[in-house]
């Protein structure tokens, strides 16, 4: 039986800022955040977003060089604010290697959102797009459950930079080793 392990991403500083007035808008965001009366007007890649002053705004630099901003409405659940700096809260999630066969929990949990491709790779309809991974190339990451009761899951591929930022943790959330270390010791056993 294929085992699930507990993993978490190494917490770090989130690109967020609380905006209470014009002075709080960093210079590099002034062209994508404006204040109109008591409202922040955000120029997001999805379009204009309007939120109350005092909101926490997340930002990232796109490949095009433009800054993308959005209201970080769930900041209380995902970050901790200390002296105006927002730190990610560690969240323990489940993971299992992508092998040639899948645990029944994943098959049942994803249902029609999971497809086995002709080359033996697996594909998940994540809701925002299709994600694909071949056996031995990554891990199924289970974030939780969606509103419809299906798994909120995706692949974490070994080739991505974020793979190196995940850790295997014990039942108390204490770091045991990096996922990369775990993988190098265990994946050959799992494939055999």
User: Is 182 a residue whose pLDDT tops 60?
Assistant: yes
What's the confidence (pLDDT) of residue 187? 65
In sequence order, the 6+-apart residues with CB closer than 8 A to the CB of 47 are none
Q: Using one digit for the tens of pLDDT, what is the confidence trace for 122-163?
A: 999 887 678 899 999 999 999 888 888 888 888 889 988 778
What's the confidence (pLDDT) of residue 181? 93
pLDDT confidence band for 189 (50 / 70 / 90):
low
**Closest C-alpha among 1, 10, 140, 29 to residue 87:** 10
Q: Using one digit for the tens of pLDDT, what is the confidence trace for 73-106?
A: 878 878 889 899 998 888 889 999 999 988 888 8
pTM: predicted TM-score of the whole model, two decimal places:
0.65
DSSP state at residue 149: S
* Domain ranges across the chain: 16-88, 92-191
In the numeric block, which tokens belong to residue 157?
């591929």
Q: Chain centroid to CA 68: how far?
A: 17
Q: Using one digit for the tens of pLDDT, what is the confidence trace for 18-71?
A: 999 999 999 999 999 999 999 999 998 777 889 999 999 999 888 788 899 988
């Amino acid at each position: 039986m294929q085992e699930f392990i507990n993993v978490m991403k190494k917490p770090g500083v989130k690109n967020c800022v609380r905006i209470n007035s014009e002075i709080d808008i960093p210079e590099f965001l002034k062209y994508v955040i404006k204040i109109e009366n008591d409202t922040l007007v955000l120029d997001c890649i999805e379009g204009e977003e309007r939120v109350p002053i005092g909101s926490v705004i997340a930002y990232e630099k796109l490949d095009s060089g433009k800054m993308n901003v959005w209201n970080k409405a769930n900041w209380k659940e995902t970050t901790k604010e200390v002296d105006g700096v927002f730190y990610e809260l560690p969240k323990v999630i489940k993971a299992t290697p992508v092998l040639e066969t899948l645990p029944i929990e994943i098959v049942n949990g994803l249902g029609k959102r999971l497809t086995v491709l002709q080359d033996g790779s697996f594909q998940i309809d994540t809701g925002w797009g299709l994600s694909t991974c071949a056996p031995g190339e990554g891990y199924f990451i289970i974030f939780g459950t969606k509103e419809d009761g299906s798994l909120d899951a995706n692949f974490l591929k070994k080739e991505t930079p974020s793979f190196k930022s995940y850790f295997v943790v014990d039942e108390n959330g204490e770091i045991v080793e990096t996922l990369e270390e775990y993988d190098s010791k265990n994946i050959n056993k799992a494939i055999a």
